[in-house]
Amino acid sequence: MPYDEKMVAPMREEVRQIGARELCTVAEVDEALGDAKGTTLVFVNSVCGCAAGGARPALQAALKHTVLPQSIVTVFAGQDVDATRRARQYFSDYQPSSPSFALLRDGEPVYMVHRHMIEGKSPQAVAAALKEAFDKFCGVSV
């Protein structure tokens, strides 16, 4: 059952402020991820403590990196249920968890940060993993 939207609203706003585009419907997910070219980071937001203490600060820190995905989007697990389920279909080889990050390149998942990789970690540690993935998968080939 979804939480009270008034409680969740600041958690959504925090991620929008960071620069992620929020996808609340299946249509919005398909528009963003269907036939996607280039690189997209999908952040699966959640109400849990490791989203507040780890994942969202990590996203903020990671997005200050010099190499970034071309698109940053977010869905909210447990709140926008259909949109989240749809987004997870784009990386369905991986088990669902939240919070989590999926990095897609040309529509294919190339890197995942599962919840178990966020739990108990500092935001800096999670951000470092994301930055490493950005360097590896989002850099321009010359």
Partner 1 sequence: MSGHVFHPGHDQLHGITVILETTGPRVLVGRFDSQDEQGVNLIGVSVFDTSGGESTKEEFLARTRKFGVKVDHPHLRIPLPTVSRILPLGD
Name which of 39 and 100 has its Cβ closer to partner 1: 100
Closest CB 101 distance from partner 1, rounded Å:
12
Which 18-77 residues touch partner 1, going by CB under 8 A? 48-50, 53
Catalytic residue among 33, 36, 50, 83: 50
Which 100-119 residues touch partner 1, going by CB under 8 A? 100, 112, 114-119
Name the segment binding partner 1 (CB under 8 A); options: 19-27, 31-39, 55-63, 93-101.
93-101
CB 99 within 8 A of CB 106: no
CB 58 within 8 A of CB 127: yes
Q: Residue 22's beta-bridge partner residues?
A: 74
- The Cα–Cα gap between 42 and 112 comes to 10
- The Cα–Cα gap between 113 and 102 comes to 7
Residues taking part in catalysis: 48, 50
